[in-house]
Structure 1
Amino acid sequence: MIDKNKKLEKDKNVVFAFVLLLLIISTVYAAYMLFNAPSGIAQNEYERVKSDYVLMILQCVLGCIIIFLPSKVEHLFHIDIPDLMEIIYFIFLFCAIYLGEVRNFYLRIAYWDVILHCFSAAMLGAVGFMIVNILNSSEKISIQLSPFFVALFAFSFAILCGTVWEIYEFTADGILGTNMQKFMSGNRTLLVGREALLDTMEDLVVDCFGALIVTMIGYFDLRKKHLKLELK
């Protein structure tokens, strides 16, 4: 068991270093291409202009920062995040930033954004359960929530994070002139009405769906454990 844990920790460090290195290289690459890329509107679907490289730099720099989030949380709150969960987190950053933004999977692969939002919502729902479990195990905090309220907290936590992400996209689009919320078409034509809201609302709906699946599974699992404890 100890050897297995050591191997998992080693794998985590390898994945961490690999993803971080790719993000750093991508940042340097995007900064170089920014000076050579044309301004204005892309002439075809896969051509990249200056605003695209600004977005790539923003995402890669953000990735280089938040990749350290699990270790910082462990240090500040004196908790142990499972190595497997950290590996999944690093793989998500790889898929979302490197494959999605740098390798342009958002355009090349249909529903890539939808898949990632569903996956991230499910992961955040699991994090919500972990937070409650940490609070329940803490000697400093006396709290025991019912399975329903644990699931409700996990669901709300996942939706909150998804909403904050949409606020980040909206803010970046307004300040840097990017198109993260897809309010413009490929030729920079402003969308109106329902079409302008489609990407944001689709992301939020998928976030709710992914979080709901995980929290329902977690709820029934906790409820089953509680019933067993009551019968003893």
Structure 2
Amino acid sequence: MKKHMKYDTIITYIFYILLATTLVWDIFARGSGKVFRIGLIYITIFIARLLFNKTFLKKSKAGYVLALIFIFFSMYLANVMDFYSIPNYDKLLHLVSGVLLAFLGLIIYIFLCGNKENLTMRPIAMVVFPLLFAIACAGAWEIWEFTTDQIFGFTAQNNSLHDTMWDIICGTVGGSFSCFFMYLYIKGKNIRIVKMIIKDMED
């Protein structure tokens, strides 16, 4: 009986093909300016696959796909395709990261505490933990950017508190967006992505 590839594997191969095509295009049409960044994406995908194959995250195919989506937006589009030159793309990226980090927070919560049927936890904790996780990660990322700016002389934060605060706000808004659907789920609504994440973790 022929074994069908799982959707996470198919998406990974599509991403690899896209990167290979972009690499050829970059070498012959752009003077190899992005070869290092493309190689870095391959390494990042490898690390993501390792984490989602060897740790408690291995149950969550949906979580792995969310990680690939973030890599696509933050590394491929932003750095390889120069989307950072688009006004406010950085803020869009922080919004997207907030959305994805909240779902990662949900995966961690389910691993630690189970789903909403866990009688020892109030169902609302399934919303609060992912939201706090997304906000904490948004703040931690800004700490990382500040640290690298100070040590290596980078300009990720443009030496601006205004830029930093808007990045955290965007991450918080994105996390709140995801958590709204988690709230609908605990209220009995059929939210497909939440159900998919829970099913992955419980299988």
Q: Do Structure 1 and Structure 2 share a fold, with TM-score over 0.5? A: yes
2:123 pairs, out of 130, 135, 147, with 147
Q: CA deviation at 1:70?
A: 4.6
Amino acid at match of 2:50: S
TM-score, normalised relative to structure 2: 0.71
In structure 1, runs of 5+ residues without a counterpart are 34-52, 184-195, 226-232
- The question of 1:95 aligning with 2:73 is answered yes
Q: CA deviation at 1:65?
A: 4.7
Q: Which residue of 2 aligns with 1:123?
A: 100
Once the two structures are superposed, what CA deviation does each residue of 1:97-141 show, in whole Å capped at 9, x if it has no partner?
A: 23212332112x222111111111111111111222223449xxx
Q: CA deviation at 1:176?
A: 1.8
- The question of 1:160 aligning with 2:136 is answered yes
Q: Do the aligned partners of residues 64 and 14 (structure 1) sit closer, same or farther apart at CA in structure 2, a change above 3 Å counting?
A: closer
Q: Which residue of 2 aligns with 1:86?
A: 64
How many pairs does the alignment contain?
183
User: d(CA) in 2 for partners of 1:24 and 1:169?
Assistant: 28
User: d(CA) in 2 for partners of 1:128 and 1:218?
Assistant: 11
- The question of 1:198 aligning with 2:162 is answered yes
Q: What secondary structure sits across from 1:79 in the alignment?
A: helix
Give yes or no for contact 1:23–1:98 (8 Å, CA) kept in 2.
Answer: no
Give yes or no for contact 1:155–1:212 (8 Å, CA) kept in 2.
Answer: yes
Give yes or no for contact 2:48–2:67 (8 Å, CA) kept in 1.
Answer: no
Q: Do the aligned partners of residues 62 and 178 (structure 1) sit closer, same or farther apart at CA in structure 2, a change above 3 Å counting?
A: farther
User: d(CA) in 2 for partners of 1:24 and 1:144?
Assistant: 51
In structure 2, runs of 5+ residues without a counterpart are 190-203
Q: Do the aligned partners of residues 64 and 181 (structure 1) sit closer, same or farther apart at CA in structure 2, a change above 3 Å counting?
A: farther
Q: Which residue of 1 aligns with 2:11?
A: 12
Give yes or no for contact 1:24–1:60 (8 Å, CA) kept in 2.
Answer: yes
- Listed as ranges, the matches of 1:1-232 within 5 Å are 6-18=5-17, 63-67=41-45, 68-77=47-56, 79-82=58-61, 84-107=62-85, 109-137=86-114, 144-183=120-159, 196-224=160-188
Q: CA deviation at 1:157?
A: 0.8
